[in-house]
Structure 1
Amino acid sequence: MPDGDAGDAAQRQGAESAQGLRESAENEERRVENQKGSPLAKGEERFDERSRSSDGRSAGEKQNPGDL
């Protein structure tokens, strides 16, 4: 049976990859905010913004057309 070194190395590599992805996402977000000239929506606002389709209606509005 292999010792824990291989598993530890894989875990470290995964953690480093995750950190790299977080940093990349932060850099991309800053770049887009600078281009846009205002901060991107965060949290619940961002979820709502992303959940709207190209016609401006949310999934809930499409599922419940009588509530409009």
Structure 2
Amino acid sequence: MGVDQAPTAKGKQAATGLKQSAATDERKTEAEMGHPLKKGADRFEERSKSSDGKSAGAKQKE
């Protein structure tokens, strides 16, 4: 749920904290890897390959 969509003040605060935590973790990971993480479709493809070495498209053809 997005920060703006949270129905209560406590929910908005939790969503904001989660968003900040995720951004901090992403910056830390990028610093450790030495390059930015891929975004969007490239990220999906990268994660799909990492699980079993096959791309998402190759899995669908099987």
2:12 maps to which residue?
15
RMSD of Structure 2 on Structure 1 (CA): 1.7
Equivalences, count: 56
2:27 maps to which residue?
30
Give the Cα separation in 1 of the matches to 2:11 and 2:29. Answer: 27
Higher alpha-carbon Rg: 1
Taking structure 1 as the reference length, the TM-score comes to 0.69
Give the Cα separation in 2 of the matches to 1:36 and 1:53. Answer: 15
21, 40, 43: which is aligned to 1:43? 40
Unaligned runs of 5+ in 2: 1-6
15, 39, 64: which is aligned to 2:61? 64
Instruction: Indicate the percent of aligned positions where both proteins have the same amino acid.
Output: 50
Unaligned runs of 5+ in 1: 1-9
Taking structure 2 as the reference length, the TM-score comes to 0.75
